[in-house]
Amino acid sequence: MKEPKQPHGGKREGAGRKAAYNEPTKVVRVPESRILEIKAYLNKPKNEIEIDQIRQIDPVTHLEIPLASERIQAGFPSPAQDYVENTLDLNEHLIKNPAATFIVRVNSLSMLGIGIDVNDELIVDRSLEAKHRDIVIALVDNEFTVKRLMIEGDQHWLKAENPDFQDIHFDEGQELVIWGVVTRVLKSFR
């Protein structure tokens, strides 16, 4: 005898997120331009590294960019600001030690509270000694992370700048290797 056909919809055992979390769900609105990025972030494996694409700087170009002699206000511009007195080479301005400088791309929201977002590029100088409150690239349990280095007495720990992420405190036997100090953030607004 043929089973009666089940209608579409309705409650099915184990279906939907509510069953997985045992609580009601909620719709969240996000900008359309960020949907794919947010989906990719939410679906990435939990053990995925926070740093993507480490590449060394090769400052072989020299390009002088006009440098306005006055600082700019957030209000109305001054007519005198049209005057350009000097030029600036970005290699010299951004990179102090080319042989020890790398760019890394951020792959996490753990530092969002200080303006470091997913896909921002960080200029990292490996020749600098990390100090208390520096933003660092650290190697923890063979995975790279970007965090703020906190030093209190003989204790070292890594602070996330986003309340959704946990700080990293080290257990006995765990090794912290400071790979480099972040000196600049390259952020695209378009």
Cα four-point dihedral sign 139, 141, 144, 145: negative
Sequence-distant (≥ 6) Cβ neighbours of residue 133 within 8 angstroms? 148, 149, 150
Residue 116 β-bridge partners: none
Active site residues: 110, 147
Write the DSSP symbol of residue 44. Answer: S
End-to-end CA distance of the chain: 64
Domains of the chain by range and CATH? 48-61+96-186 (2.10.109.10)
Task: At 74, list the tokens.
Answer: 């957030």
Task: At 177, list the tokens.
Answer: 């290797």
The 10s digit of each residue's pLDDT in 79-133 is 555 555 677 777 787 888 888 889 899 999 999 999 999 999 999 999 999 999 9
The 10s digit of each residue's pLDDT in 128-181 is 999 999 999 999 888 899 999 999 998 899 999 999 999 999 888 788 899 999
pTM: 0.62
